[in-house]
Amino acid sequence: MDRSSSCLRTLAIQLSLCFALYVVLHLGHPQKLVRNDNGSPLDLYFISVRGGFRSLQQQTHLLKLMETVAKAYDVKFVVNISELGGEDDPLMQNVTRLSPLLNVPWYTTGGSKHDGLDCFLQQIKLPCGRMLDIVGLNTASLQDTALVGPSSGTRDSLSNWLRRTLKATISSWRIVAGFHPLVACEENEGKSVAKLLNEPLHRMFVKCGVNVYLSQQGCFSYALQDSVAYIGNPGLTEQKSHSDSADERYHARKEMTNGFLLHRLSSLEMVTYFVTSAGEIVNKIVVRQRGREVM
């Protein structure tokens, strides 16, 4: 009897260890990423997420998943794509309940003031003396180019600040973050293609060497226009369309409802992974280093 009980206890312990190993492998690292995915110890990881309204259960689950990924990949900061700004954004308000996520800086669109404008410039040192610029914009002031009066003055002031800021930088990577998408979908000969919503702003991005524009997700998850990659953070709706040509690339979203983006930045490329609420990777975007510095 004693020997039988000992065998049962041994078997139970072995089963428990196997289960624990399964949990570590599948829950401790929910995303299907591997460290040797062309990465190196010098790479920088950061998260971008769309703020705004979600149910308390959705927000709690999302923040806990972000916390797990932040620990696994030593995430250095979070970019919060918000229309409401830092203090009023529901996602930011719930971050205070999860102290581990407070250990990394949060940069929120619409949450900072510079010269009275809703914008910011955050410069982050990269290995080997390189620099990353994160520029945040209140894109609501840039939407309608036909505006006149005070609103037009705010738009012009913000555009001038952005132009001066981008021209002055000597950074290796330039990422602009705003709430509104700057690329929409347009039907052309039965196909859905990406259409720029703000040609003057796009030309400024190209001229000043902007690599990536991050925003909320409209009808796309990724569109490459000239040398600028437009990447959308997932929302709570779904739309299906797809097109691909020599001059533009476009990927439609697929039920990306409550996840976030994990970015791996190296000297040569930025790799973006979409992490779903189930902790799975369903998309991968690679942006090569471009702009004024050619590699």
pLDDT in tens, 15-49: 444 443 343 334 444 445 544 466 688 899 999 99
C-alpha distance from residue 96 to each of 28, 58, 65, 148, 198 (Å): 22, 16, 15, 40, 36
Let me know: does 142 contact 198? Beta carbons within 8 Å: yes
Let me know: does 92 contact 99? Beta carbons within 8 Å: no
| Mean pLDDT to the nearest integer, 97-104 | 75
Residue 204 has pLDDT above 90, yes or no: yes
The model's pLDDT over 129-185, given as tens digits with 9 standing for 90+, comes to 889 999 998 777 665 544 444 456 677 888 888 999 999 988 999 999 998 899 888
Let me know: does 136 contact 107? Beta carbons within 8 Å: yes
| Mean pLDDT to the nearest integer, 188-200 | 82
Cα(18)–Cα(3) distance, integer angstroms:
23
Q: What does R_g of the chain's alpha carbons equal in angstroms? A: 22
| Mean pLDDT to the nearest integer, 182-209 | 86
Residue 101 has pLDDT above 60, yes or no: yes
Let me know: does 273 contact 281? Beta carbons within 8 Å: yes
The model's pLDDT over 44-96, given as tens digits with 9 standing for 90+, comes to 999 999 988 888 888 888 998 999 999 999 999 999 998 877 677 888 888 86
pLDDT of residue 142: 67
pLDDT of residue 86: 65
The structural domains of the chain, with segments of one domain joined by +, span 1-29, 31-288
Residue 124 has pLDDT above 90, yes or no: yes
Pick the CATH number of 31-288 from 3.60.21.10, 3.60.15.10, 3.40.47.10, 2.130.10.10: 3.60.21.10
Closest CA to 282 of 246, 226, 238, 224: 238
Band the pLDDT of 117: cuts 50, 70, 90: low
